[in-house]
């Protein structure tokens, strides 16, 4: 019986000795994966702070929102310039129509 126990212990010892490099490699891989995940979480938290405030509300200073606001201002200015141009053109048309009427009156005399 002592020989069987010695044989079992020798087998377990050889098995553990054979698996030791795999166990060490597995632990190393897990540590590396945890480090990578921690880095990715840090990056995501940094990006998230641009979109969401600390109290989980939408941040108002995102670059997309600022770009939309600038575009809105630019379009509003362009629309106003067009309205001003239209109004000026209407006034000029009215002046020219009045001049045409005056010339027609003078020509008919």
Give the mean pLDDT of 36-40.
93
Return the residue matching tokens 């994966």: 33
Reported as a pLDDT band with limits 50, 70 and 90, residue 16 is: confident
Share of the chain above pLDDT 90, in %: 43
100 and 80 share a domain?
yes
- Residue ending a domain, among 39, 59, 79, is 59
Q: Domain range for residue 80?
A: 63-109
Same domain, 38 and 14: yes
How far apart CA 20 and CA 36 sit, in angstroms, is 24
Do 107 and 69 lie in one domain? The reply is yes
101 vs 1: which has the higher pLDDT: 101
What is the count of structural domains for the chain? 2
39 and 72: one domain? no
Q: Are residues 5 and 50 in the same domain?
A: yes
- Considering the domain architecture, whether residues 72 and 102 belong to the same structural domain is answered as yes
Give the CA distances from residue 4 to residues 11, 12, 16, 17, 102, in Å, rounded to whole numbers and listed in that order. 10, 12, 18, 20, 130
């Amino acid at each position: 019986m002592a020989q069987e126990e010695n044989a079992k212990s020798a087998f377990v010892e050889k098995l553990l000795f054979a698996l030791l490099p795999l166990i060490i490699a597995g632990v190393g891989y897990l540590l590396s994966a945890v480090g990578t995940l921690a880095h990715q979480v840090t990056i995501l938290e940094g990006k998230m702070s641009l979109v969401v405030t600390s109290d989980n509300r939408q941040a108002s200073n995102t670059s997309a929102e600022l770009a939309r606001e600038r575009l809105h201002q630019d379009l509003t200015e362009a629309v106003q310039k067009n309205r001003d141009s239209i109004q000026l053109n209407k006034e000029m048309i009215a002046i020219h129509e009045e001049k045409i009427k005056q010339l027609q009156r003078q020509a008919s005399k």
